[in-house]
Structure 1
Amino acid sequence: MDGEESESAKQWFKDLELDSHRVVNSRPIVRLSKIAIVDTGIDWKHPCFREAISSGRIVAKSFIPRQAGDQDTNGHGTHAAGLVLKVAPNSKLFIARVIEDGLSEEFERNSSAIARAIRWAVGQGVDIISMSFGYRTASSEITSAIRHAFSQNVILFAAASNSGVNPRSPISFPANLRQVICVHSSDGSGNPSPRNPPPIPDCSLAILGEGVAAAWPQNLYTERDDMLRVASGTSVATPIAAGLAALILEYAAQEGPEGETVTRWMQLRHCDEMRKMMHVLARDRGGYRSIAPSSLFDYHGEEMHQRVTGRINDVLDTL
């Protein structure tokens, strides 16, 4: 099954390149989307990030005492950063290192650092914040920071949980907050993962998160010729969802002739509006809403941009 999931994930990314990247890259970039990744840091020297770093599109900051932001001793943050750039290769990343070992206990100990990282990201003018972590109990500090980000038109994504379909294991904090887009995991065909918690109204969106390969720190990997790691779960799906939001924002901001422009694209920078956009791109699968990027970008020919921008404008007109 793992092999099938990996092949399915590879096909998902091939389709993303053939549809979404083809459309987005066919017009000049007007505005880079900015994404903050609140996680375990990043392996600054990984070859996957060489071009983005050389062009000044990765900024890293540590919120852990005596630790650098451009390092990752766990791997999770590096993997998340790699996924964002696979989905939205033109975006600018703001890496906030808030934990070292990635254990849930450390997240709970470092709630103050996470809150400060969220506020820092808002100060950097990010469009999107990706949070692949979850708590059993809420943190008032993090809640306050998230509400501040939401009020500043920052789109927030968080992992639903990887505890499986168990009524006693509800959706984790902060994914259960109204100001956050909760992300479940699916395979490359849109089938929901058994790791997902049960879906609930307004918290049922799912996107690829099973069998996904992305960058892994060089110091943690033995096969230097590869330096990729396959991972699964809602914490993997979260940066992919964040990357898709960045891709949509990048395209919506592009300029074109009359009839090929998203007239009110700034509305998409609000979390509630992007959530609705994601639901429009999703289809029902086993109680979840599985997001399919091709439902927006799978157009060809001379009327391609007219059709894509028209679809986005139609969504904005109903918001």
Structure 2
Amino acid sequence: MSDDSTQRFNRRTFLKATGAAGAAAAVSGVTAATPGREPGPKKDEILVGVSAGNGDVEAAVTTHVPGNAEVVHTNDNLRYAAVKFPSQVPDKAKQNFIDAITKKDGIKYAERNKTHKALATPNDPRFGDQYAPQQVESPAAWDEVSGFGDSGVTIAVVDTGAQYNHPDLDANYESNPGKDFVDDDSDPYPPDPSSEQHATHVSGCAAAVVDDGTGVAGQGNSSLINGRALGPNGGSTADIADAVEWATDQGADIINMSLGGGGYTSTMKNAVQYAVSNGALPICAAGNNGSSSVSYPAAYSECMAISAVNSNENLASFSQYGDVDLAAPGVDVLSTIPTDSYAKFSGTSMATPVTSGVAGLTLAKWDLDTAGLRNHLKATAKDIGLSSDKQGAGQVNAYNAVTTQPGDGGGGGGGGGDSSTTTQSGSLSSSSDYDDYSYAWQYSGPSQVVVELSGPSDADFDLYVNTGTTAAPTPSSYDYRSYTTNSQESITIDNPDDSTDMQIDVDSYSGSGSYDLTITEKQ
């Protein structure tokens, strides 16, 4: 705890009606899908989140499942179960199930297992010179990094299946190249490479082998792994969330998600939060419909949202914009495709792995955690003259990223300079207890604040934050929230409103115990 925590925290604690505490902690891991479960989109499934402290996930959900439905998949770490209904069951009946089960004790949420699709907009395949690495100055950065990168840095491609033995990828793909969450096996190689080119192209944008005398060059020689979560017709929230969890557990430093659709879901929110909490930075495509808001998962605060620009550094006509973090080349980007070939594709799907590759090259030079990497990429971005809603902090720049000492700032700004960390400890006594805090800012105009909650493993505590107001947040009224099925919560706010003290609510959804609330403010 910092020395000035007493002055900067004003605690207001209230005890609400006492509720029953949760029972038992969950066992970690993903259980195998029921044999015969169809790959790809799963529109007949409902994902049900079970609060920590409420015992076995499958048992907690099965109790409330009607006779015409069944639990077909569980993830005990993210604490959700997939409930499958027969295809002939009308949507109204499924919605009735959602409405009913969310009222049951210990059920945190229920939602459709939505479908996500790869965000490529391919042109007719053709060969040509690359421009993306040159535009983000990766060649200049290679002079500053031994071996054109570091194989100890891992980028996970959560996408379609990738041709990991492509001549221009093979040396950078790990010997165990990944996992297939669509077909539930250990080989992510696409069953029909002609209809699944996306992840192979994405892999090459990030880390096609540099200086191997073959084909094209990625941004650096990071290691690659592939979580096949999309088939030719897209993929489900559950498969993508499981792939994100798997990639994190494999030790991925960066998780590239060139996919989107389906809107906000608690399951995916929990998955990307799990990634960040365990040292993996999700870098995501802003989307390709040209609208003024970014798609999910890019829109989650845990993820970096990437817009696409062309070779003239103008925003691509298809690129979504709004709350983006960075821009990168995404029009006519030449990269690897199955089988042993090359083509130019366009999309924020291409801009995203260009950014992921630069992030990997950055980690080859500097030892940074997820927040540090995110901030450094933004601090060293190049201002290309677009508005902040189109370029974020700027176009990602590899040379600036590897030659600028972390904390020195530069480029497009965002995340450099000093930081201050304060920790406040507390405890909640029941499922209806909460603590409110008012936090006084350390800096004028802070660039970022990270609010983290670490509570007991057998309880479910949630975190809510308000800025720019003196009103305390609540579970029904808040500016920001972190609402997973456990007590490990995190909220990151860039350029927070510091016109008033920040208001924080630590709330027990179920269970009791001690917690630490940590505020990291960056100048």
Instruction: Please classify the TM superposition score into its range, dividing by the shorter chain length.
Output: 0.7 to 0.9
Change in 2 beyond 3 A, CA 1:213/1:279: same
Structure 1: gaps of 5 or more residues: 219-223, 253-264, 298-304
Which residue in 2 is equivalent to 1:62?
180
Aligned ranges 1:167-178 → 2 under 5 Å: 167=292, 170-178=293-301
Change in 2 beyond 3 A, CA 1:99/1:18: closer
**C-alpha deviation, 1:209, in angstroms:** 1.0
Structure 2: gaps of 5 or more residues: 1-122, 208-216, 410-415, 419-521
1:240 aligns with 2:354: yes
> What is the CA–CA distance in structure 2 between the aligned matches of 1:58 and 1:247, rounded to whole Å?
22
**C-alpha deviation, 1:249, in angstroms:** 0.6
Highest CA radius of gyration, 1 or 2? Answer: 2
1:184 aligns with 2:336: no
Which residue in 1 is equivalent to 2:167?
47
> What is the CA–CA distance in structure 2 between the aligned matches of 1:313 and 1:94, rounded to whole Å?
30
> What is the CA–CA distance in structure 2 between the aligned matches of 1:96 and 1:294, rounded to whole Å?
26
Which residue in 1 is equivalent to 2:335?
214
**Contact map agreement 2:331 2:346 (CA 8 A) in 1:** yes
Counterpart of 1:296, as a letter, is N
**C-alpha deviation, 1:58, in angstroms:** 6.1
1:291 aligns with 2:411: no
- Say which of 76, 80, 89 aligns to 2:198: 76
**C-alpha deviation, 1:276, in angstroms:** 2.3
> What is the CA–CA distance in structure 2 between the aligned matches of 1:70 and 1:89, rounded to whole Å?
23
Counterpart of 1:173, as a letter, is Y
Change in 2 beyond 3 A, CA 1:20/1:317: same
Change in 2 beyond 3 A, CA 1:232/1:31: closer
> What is the CA–CA distance in structure 1 between the aligned matches of 2:153 and 2:144, rounded to whole Å?
16
> What is the CA–CA distance in structure 1 between the aligned matches of 2:396 and 2:355, rounded to whole Å?
11
Aligned ranges 1:61-210 → 2 under 5 Å: 61-65=179-183, 68-71=187-190, 72=193, 73-85=195-207, 86-101=217-232, 103=233, 106-107=234-235, 110-164=236-290, 166-167=291-292, 170-200=293-323, 203-210=324-331
SS in structure 1 of the partner of residue 294 of structure 2: coil
> What is the CA–CA distance in structure 2 between the aligned matches of 1:174 and 1:18, rounded to whole Å?
30
**C-alpha deviation, 1:283, in angstroms:** 0.7
The runs of at least 4 consecutive aligned structure 1 residues that moved more than 3 Å come to 14-18, 86-89, 315-319
- Greater RCO between the two (CA within 8 Å, min separation 6)? 1
**Contact map agreement 2:131 2:311 (CA 8 A) in 1:** yes
Counterpart of 1:87, as a letter, is G
Counterpart of 2:357, as a letter, is G
Counterpart of 1:100, as a letter, is G
**C-alpha deviation, 1:295, in angstroms:** 5.3
Higher share of residues assigned helix: 1
Normalised by the length of structure 1, the TM-score is 0.76
Counterpart of 2:317, as a letter, is P
> What is the CA–CA distance in structure 1 between the aligned matches of 2:288 and 2:259, rounded to whole Å?
10
> What is the CA–CA distance in structure 2 between the aligned matches of 1:133 and 1:216, rounded to whole Å?
17
1:228 aligns with 2:342: yes
**Contact map agreement 1:159 1:238 (CA 8 A) in 2:** yes
Change in 2 beyond 3 A, CA 1:294/1:245: closer
SS in structure 2 of the partner of residue 314 of structure 1: coil
1:34-79 deviation digits (Å, cap 9, x = unpaired):
11110001113321123235xx466221011266312344100110
**C-alpha deviation, 1:117, in angstroms:** 0.6
**Contact map agreement 1:161 1:197 (CA 8 A) in 2:** yes
**C-alpha deviation, 1:181, in angstroms:** 0.3
Count how many residue pairs are aligned between Structure 1 and Structure 2. 270
Q: Could you say what the CA RMSD is over the residues aligned between the two structures, in angstroms?
A: 2.7
**Contact map agreement 2:150 2:222 (CA 8 A) in 1:** no
SS in structure 1 of the partner of residue 164 of structure 2: coil
Which residue in 2 is equivalent to 1:282?
382
> What is the CA–CA distance in structure 2 between the aligned matches of 1:25 and 1:157, rounded to whole Å?
24
**C-alpha deviation, 1:142, in angstroms:** 1.4
> What is the CA–CA distance in structure 2 between the aligned matches of 1:52 and 1:273, rounded to whole Å?
25
- Say which of 126, 141, 154 aligns to 1:34: 154
**Contact map agreement 1:57 1:91 (CA 8 A) in 2:** no
Counterpart of 1:286, as a letter, is L
> What is the CA–CA distance in structure 1 between the aligned matches of 2:384 and 2:163, rounded to whole Å?
37
> What is the CA–CA distance in structure 1 between the aligned matches of 2:198 and 2:312, rounded to whole Å?
24
1:224-250 deviation digits (Å, cap 9, x = unpaired):
7xx111011111111111111110011
Identity in percent: 24
Higher share of residues assigned strand: 2
Counterpart of 2:329, as a letter, is L
